[in-house]
Amino acid sequence: MKTANYLIFAFGLIWCVACQPDRSVEDRVRRLEADIKSLETQLFVVERLNKGRDYVSVDPYSKGYQLLNSEHGAYLVIMEGVEESLDSRKLKIGIVNLMSVPFDEFSLKVEYGRSEPPLPRPEELAVATNKLDLFYQWQNETENWRKKLQMRQESFTKPLRPGFITRVDLVLPRTSSENFQYLGLSVNATGPRTPVTE
């Protein structure tokens, strides 16, 4: 009889332990779900930032350069300076053709306007209950901001030779300083390709 009681007690104990959820497994599942949510948020941001990037954003008032990889080729876009007058801006831009193919002409498209809406700050993300809502809000603000940008496109008959800087000036008429806080540039090499001659 004692043996039967021990067996019943042992089976009952095993059954109770088996029925109790393993807290460490539940905790790990919760952490993995949180990690997945965080990775989804990061992927969302990266996808939105890289969506349709056939242009580079440059600070119009600092001399510097940006690498532009677009469907039209790879270029180094150099902001060499801005000359200001009362109601216009003259951009001094250098473009380096990083491909081995020369082009006889190209067009330069410039978008400009007020500052781009900033991404949500880390402290905002830390207290947000739904981080994706912050990014959707940022995306909507960015789309509205983009609709208000001014655009200018100009073609140049200067050649884009591989490895050389091609310097151009582009005038933006009727441009106030408050509407010249952001500058986006894209390059489209056009025209017949000519062989390099020494």
Task: Give the confidence band of 7 by pLDDT, cuts at 50, 70, 90.
Answer: very low
150-156 and 64-70: which strand pairing?
A: unpaired
Bigger pLDDT: 165 or 197? Answer: 165
Mention every residue, 6+ apart, whose C-beta is less than 8 A from residue 181: 60, 113, 114, 115
CATH class for the domain made up of 55-190: mainly beta
51-85 pLDDT, tens per residue? Answer: 555 778 877 777 888 888 877 678 889 999 888 88
Give the global pTM. Answer: 0.64
Tell me the pairing of strands 182-190 and 56-58: antiparallel
Backbone torsions φ then ψ of 40, nearest 5 degrees: -60, -40
- What mean pLDDT value characterizes the chain? 78
Q: How far apart are CA 15 and CA 123, in angstroms?
A: 47
